[in-house]
């Protein structure tokens, strides 16, 4: 939201009140907080205190390295829900202190402090490392306040607030060269400086400024993050109005955010996910290839069998088969009933499918809507399971499904009914759920079952309760670590319910790059697992696009073939070409490579969960924060902490990528390149720039492995890349249990070989 017309003029139609003084500073009884009373003009006499709005700024030490800042205009405004669930694993303790010196009043929370300038007329709040080593950001002159829209000509008009909207804002300073990242799955430029961003969940595809996953958290290249504690719509001007500030504004009378400091961006993410939660562990089978029916295609049991038999005949293992929308009867979405005309025996069909060995698991598509053509709609409406309008009508729309209603998850009975629908699917043999949609949640003329919630806050928050409901139902049936979603809509905290995929992208190289940028941004918001529609969702991918996307998609944490109105089995893309670089051969190679990487991937997944980090796609700045270039790289990523991946976006196979400082070994050829520096290479379809970081002990499955679930300690291949004493690799089994550590000693020998079984192969690749 713009507040100024350039540097000097106010914007037309709005009245902006800025906090000008810090009139009083009050220490709270807890000894962990300060309350600042801030008039909106300089108070130099008693008369100046009359007819004068104030803003209250409460700063609290939360835990080590974390401060909260809450700005309030009128404290009597009701604080309506819903509210994000914070500290799901418990709140850590931390030391706090308050001191006063000639530099001002300082509140310290472990490694981070806030200092308020001693001159009340100099509005200046500095956030800095406690040891004085780093200035983080500040709230300076005219950086905190509230806005009336439209402009009231007299304070008397504000007796009736129905005619006015109020917004609270803060403007934190941006330093020279500082970059800003995150804010959910954003498909535009990786560095958000210069962008206006609205955090409002929308179904807008990947080629727009809208996002399915809006997360009110951003990460700075100066080793701090800022989490805005509201699910409401948030408007940010990231160096786009005041070029040296990040402005955050929300509708209402209060705004609260947390400033999170760490010595590295990894530490910032760890503390952020301490606030909002970390990903649950996902089963090893979910890392294998998922094959979909695609969206509007026509299929039945015979079609499904032909797909899976064709994949098996071509030596391509499919771990999960996914039934998209049309397992349901047209116009009935989503009443959770298989269309009897195409699937008369769903339980038997799924049993036949999984017992055949053609796939391990079955996933089905769902959404939280209900078309009125289904008899289930009438039942749900009568029982109050659907969202209503303010006059008591069921809220309905013809967008997507004719006359559809929306499940009201603020109604406990509706939630229990929805869970019972999930359980009926589990009874039929379904093991995973695609929780699609949940973005276009109405905010006007609606009445939720829970009267305490603010409809405007439900638009983003709905994705949290929707995904949580389904994820916990899966956990209850299959076990805590066997639950896995394929979710599209998300917000803060949804990383607890893995996994998420990138939404509707076109079948182009540009859309592949858009998707990667979205995944990188989401990963910097604590989401450990991510996937993408291989080949693109919209359109008909050409063979070269499909093959380039296969290489990219099989090196993300989770890999799914899915499209809109065309199938994604490889032989339909290139007329079943039999050549060595056909779509089929390409898919088989990359699927097999991912299977071989599972001992590494599953161990890295555990580390990612523990640290609140993305497994893949991991932004380069998380591993190389001291390299300024890493904060701008959005066409490459890290797969875990040891492997660098640069997808190819050109039909010719040409690709340019950046290697940070150190020795990097080409995974395929063993050639060593030394960074830092940019490189250009040309690749066919069986390779891409996949480089192994120096000092890596890489544990892989044996040559020829095609499965995703196997014994990760038997007959493995252990590769040593420029290793020195102390280099190590954690070992886990396919259930995620820790089995020990392989470590390099002073003589460059591997300690812990006895943990391996069968005929392990250890080789020095470079060193």
CA proximity to 560, closest of 534, 597, 528, 530: 534
Residue with tokens 């958290």: 217
Name the active-site residue from 20, 233, 504, 730: 504
The H or E element spanning position 312 is helix 301-313
Tell me the DSSP string of 482-549: S--EEE--B-TTGGGS--EE----BSSHHHHHHHHHHHHHHHTTT--BEE-EET-SBS---HHHHHHH
CA proximity to 650, closest of 577, 567, 574, 542: 542
C-beta separation of 517 from 545 below 8 A = no
Name the active-site residue from 178, 436, 533, 730: 436
Phi/psi of residue 729, each to 5°? -140, 130
Tell me the DSSP string of 109-161: ETTEEEEE-SSTTS--EEEEETTSS-EEEEE-TT-EEEEEES--SSGGGGGSG
Number of H helices, E strands in the chain: 11, 43
439 catalytic? Reply is yes
Encoding tokens for residue 426?
């589990």
- Helices 509-523 and 543-553: crossing angle, nearest 10°? 20
| SS3 call for 627 | coil
Encoding tokens for residue 121?
């007329």
Q: Please state, in angstroms and rounded to a whole number, the distance separating the CA atoms of residues 673 and 677.
A: 9
The rounded Cα 709 to chain-centroid distance in angstroms is: 26
CA angle 597, 598, 599 (to 5 degrees): 95
Q: Please state, in angstroms and rounded to a whole number, the distance separating the CA atoms of residues 130 and 132.
A: 5
Name the active-site residue from 232, 233, 237, 439: 439
CA proximity to 658, closest of 631, 676, 685: 676
Residue with tokens 């995944």: 519
Encoding tokens for residue 362?
């079955």
C-beta separation of 586 from 574 below 8 A = no
Encoding tokens for residue 32?
């962990």
C-beta separation of 718 from 762 below 8 A = yes
β-strand partners of 397: 404
| SS3 call for 374 | coil
C-beta separation of 139 from 120 below 8 A = no
DSSP summary character for residue 470: H
The H or E element spanning position 74 is none
C-beta separation of 525 from 182 below 8 A = yes
Q: Per the omega criterion (within 30 degrees of 0), is the bond before 499 cis? A: yes
Q: Please state, in angstroms and rounded to a whole number, the distance separating the CA atoms of residues 210 and 696.
A: 39
Q: Per the omega criterion (within 30 degrees of 0), is the bond before 581 cis? A: no
- How many Cα neighbours within 13 Å face the side chain of 474? 27
Q: What's the burial of 78, exposed, middle or buried (CB within 10 Å: 0-12/13-18/19+)?
A: exposed
Strand-strand pairing, 369-370 and 654-666: unpaired
| SS3 call for 468 | helix
Q: Please state, in angstroms and rounded to a whole number, the distance separating the CA atoms of residues 659 and 673.
A: 8
Q: Please state, in angstroms and rounded to a whole number, the distance separating the CA atoms of residues 539 and 207.
A: 14
The rounded Cα 44 to chain-centroid distance in angstroms is: 49
- Active-site residues, by number, are 436, 439, 504
């Amino acid at each position: 939201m713009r507040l100024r017309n350039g540097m000097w003029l106010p914007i037309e139609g709005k009245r902006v009140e800025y906090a000008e003084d810090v009139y009083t500073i009050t220490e709270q009884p807890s000894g962990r907080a300060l309350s600042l009373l801030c008039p909106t003009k300089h108070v130099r006499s008693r008369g100046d205190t009359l007819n004068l709005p104030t803003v209250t700024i409460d700063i609290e030490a939360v835990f080590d390295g974390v401060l909260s800042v809450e700005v309030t205009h009128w404290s009597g405004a009701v604080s309506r829900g819903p509210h994000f669930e914070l500290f799901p694993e418990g709140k850590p303790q931390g030391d706090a202190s308050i001191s006063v010196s000639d530099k001002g009043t300082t509140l310290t929370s472990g490694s981070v402090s806030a200092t308020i300038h001693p001159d009340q007329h100099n509005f200046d709040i500095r956030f800095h490392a406690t040891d004085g080593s780093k200035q983080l950001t500040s709230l300076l002159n005219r950086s905190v306040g509230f806005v009336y829209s439209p402009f009231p000509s007299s304070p008397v008009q504000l007796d009736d607030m129905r005619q006015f909207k109020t917004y609270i804002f803060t403007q934190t300073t941006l330093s020279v060269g500082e970059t800003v990242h995150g804010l959910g799955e954003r498909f535009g430029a990786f560095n958000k400086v210069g962008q206006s961003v609205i955090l409002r969940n929308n179904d807008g595809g990947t080629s727009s400024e809208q996002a399915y996953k809006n997360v009110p958290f951003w990460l700075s290249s100066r080793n701090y993050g800022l989490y805005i504690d509201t699910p409401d719509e948030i408007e940010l001007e990231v160096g786009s109005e005041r070029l040296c500030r990040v402005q955050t504004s929300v509708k209402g009378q209060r705004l609260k955010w947390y400033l999170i400091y760490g010595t590295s961006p990894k530490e910032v993410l760890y503390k952020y996910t301490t606030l909002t939660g970390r990903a649950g562990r996902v089963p090893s089978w979910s890392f294998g290839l998922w094959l979909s029916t695609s969206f509007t295609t026509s299929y039945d049991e015979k079609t499904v069998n032909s797909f899976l038999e064709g994949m098996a005949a071509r030596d391509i293992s499919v771990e999960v088969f996914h039934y998209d929308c049309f397992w349901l009867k047209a116009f009935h979405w989503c009443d959770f009933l298989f269309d009897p005309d195409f699937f008369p025996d769903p339980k038997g069909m799924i049993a036949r499918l999984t017992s055949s060995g053609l796939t391990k698991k079955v996933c089905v598509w769902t959404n939280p809507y209900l078309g009125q053509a289904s008899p289930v709609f009438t039942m749900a409406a009568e029982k109050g399971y659907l969202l209503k309008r303010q006059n008591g009508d069921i809220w309905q729309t013809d967008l997507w499904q004719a006359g559809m209603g929306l499940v009201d998850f603020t109604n406990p009975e509706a939630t229990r009914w929805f869970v019972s629908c999930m359980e009926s699917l589990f009874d039929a043999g379904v093991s995973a759920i695609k929780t699609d949609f949940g973005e276009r949640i109405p905010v006007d003329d609606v009445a939720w079952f829970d009267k305490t919630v603010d409809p405007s806050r439900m638009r983003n928050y709905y994705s949290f309760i929707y995904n949580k409901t389904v994820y916990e139902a899966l956990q209850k049936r299959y076990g805590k670590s066997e639950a896995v979603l394929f979710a599209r809509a998300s917000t803060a905290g949804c990383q607890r319910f893995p996994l998420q995929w990138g939404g509707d992208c076109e079948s182009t190289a540009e859309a592949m790059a858009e998707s990667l940028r979205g995944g990188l941004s989401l990963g910097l918001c604590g989401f450990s697992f991510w996937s993408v529609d291989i080949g693109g969702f919209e359109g008909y991918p050409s063979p070269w696009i499909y093959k380039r996307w296969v290489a990219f998609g099989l090196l993300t944490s989770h890999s799914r073939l899915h499209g809109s109105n065309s199938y994604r089995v490889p032989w339909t893309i290139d007329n079943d070409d039999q050549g060595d670089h056909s779509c089929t051969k390409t898919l088989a190679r990359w699927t097999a490579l991912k299977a071989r990487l599972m001992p590494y991937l599953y161990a890295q997944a555990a580390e990612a969960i523990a640290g609140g980090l993305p497994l893949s796609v991991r932004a380069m700045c998380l591993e190389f924060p001291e390299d300024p270039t890493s904060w701008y790289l959005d066409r490459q990523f890290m797969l875990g902490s040891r492997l660098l991946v640069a997808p190819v976006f050109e039909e010719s196979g040409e690709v340019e990528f950046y290697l940070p400082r150190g020795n990097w070994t080409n995974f395929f050829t063993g050639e060593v390149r030394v960074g830092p520096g940019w490189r250009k290479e040309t690749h066919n379809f069986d390779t891409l720039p996949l480089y192994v970081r120096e000092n890596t002990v890489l544990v892989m499955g044996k040559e020829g492995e095609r499965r995703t679930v196997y014994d990760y300690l038997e007959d493995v291949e252990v590769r040593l890349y420029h290793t020195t004493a102390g280099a190590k690799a954690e070992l886990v089994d396919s259930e995620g249990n820790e089995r020990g550590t392989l470590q390099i000693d002073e003589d460059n020998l591997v300690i812990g070989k006895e943990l391996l079984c069968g005929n392990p192969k250890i080789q020095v690749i470079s060193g």
